[in-house]
Amino acid sequence: MKAFVLEQYGKRRPLQAADVQTPQLREDDVLVQVHAAGLNQLDAKIRDGEFKLILPYRMPLILGHDVAGVVVAVGPRVRQFKAGDEVYARTDDFRIGTLAEFVAVKETSLALKPRGIGMEEAASIPLVGLTAWQALVERAQLKPGQKVFVQAGSGGVGTFAIQLAKHLGATVATTTSTANMALVKSLGADVAIDYRSQDFEQVLRDYDVVLHSQDGKTLDKSLRVLRPGGKLISISGPPDPAFGQDIAAPGFVKLVIRLLSAGIRRKARDRGVGYEFLFMKANGSQLREIAALVESGTIRPVLDRVYPFEATNEAMDYLDAGRAKGKVVVKLA
């Protein structure tokens, strides 16, 4: 099968077009013919080597975490899916590889594609949808009437999280550029802050939850907009000891993780707020709940650009530029 392969880690290193073996199915796997693959910042960070300590992939590596496509074969223990089903998924860590004609996905990580949308839109959802769900529903347990600050509201996670938070009954604040004000307000943002001309720390007070996706400077400031007892959930780090425990990291890695987050955890304790790092996980049952929200019109996927498969490197370059409004997707023939 055709695929785009990372031969070794490297900053903005181009992927190589290659012919590789079609994945072999395990007993609980589903083989999906890829119709579309969503790109994420996680793909770029893995390519650049930023995650090699906690996700030590072996090279060569097919990148890609998001997939929408059609089932072509199932393992002997698979019960929920059959050939011909239209499905979507965020593949499991160490099982990634959606920038290819076929990918094998664990049955428990897969769900039927939301009805009423195309493959490209479906491929844009899994990673950002699961990130928002696991942050706001699982971790924050967001309640009606609470206030949540979603950073970078016009990005992939931001566009989804704003809509989910509004569905949960929260008041939503976000940051974006002047050009994207109308977009984030159309998604449901109650407070839209132009990060180029306004300081969110001067605008926001007593928030219950911050969904942090930016740099360290923004992280420190975000603690100060929380009410006592509020919670900051970071998807951009630094990782916390609970994450090291969760991935069963070696002792040395656990020590490094503890040291990396020691400063922010101390600052959070001093302010009487919580700090958690979230590295989202594949989850088919949550994707089924997300599909229902998409089918009802409660949440709409936001697509910026769709690239043909042969232009995968151009798509990665656009992702690297950091200007995408919503998601960037690669479409296979």
So what's the pLDDT on residue 125? 98
What's the CA gap between 201 and 275, in Å, rounded? 18
**Residue ranges of the chain that CATH labels 3.90.180.10:** 2-125+301-331
* Tokens describing residue 107: 């049955």
- 215 token code pair: 């740099």
User: Which segments of the chain belong to CATH 3.40.50.720?
Assistant: 128-277
Q: Domain 2-125+301-331 maps to which CATH number in 3.90.180.10, 3.10.129.10, 3.40.50.300, 3.90.1150.10?
A: 3.90.180.10
CA angle 22, 24, 30 (to 5 degrees): 100
- 19 beta partners: 2
pLDDT tens for each residue of 56-100? 999 999 999 999 999 999 999 999 999 999 999 999 999 999 999
Q: What is the mean pLDDT of residues 225-251?
A: 95
E-assigned strand segments in the chain: 2-6, 16-19, 29-39, 61-62, 66-74, 86-90, 102-106, 110-112, 147-150, 171-176, 191-194, 207-212, 226-234, 274-277, 303-308, 327-331
Greatest Cα pair distance, the chain, in angstroms, is: 58
Place of tokens 């697509």: 303
Q: Give the span between the Cα atoms of 277 and 299, in whole angstroms.
A: 25
Output the pLDDT for position 333. 72
Topology of domain 128-277 in CATH is Rossmann fold (3.40.50)
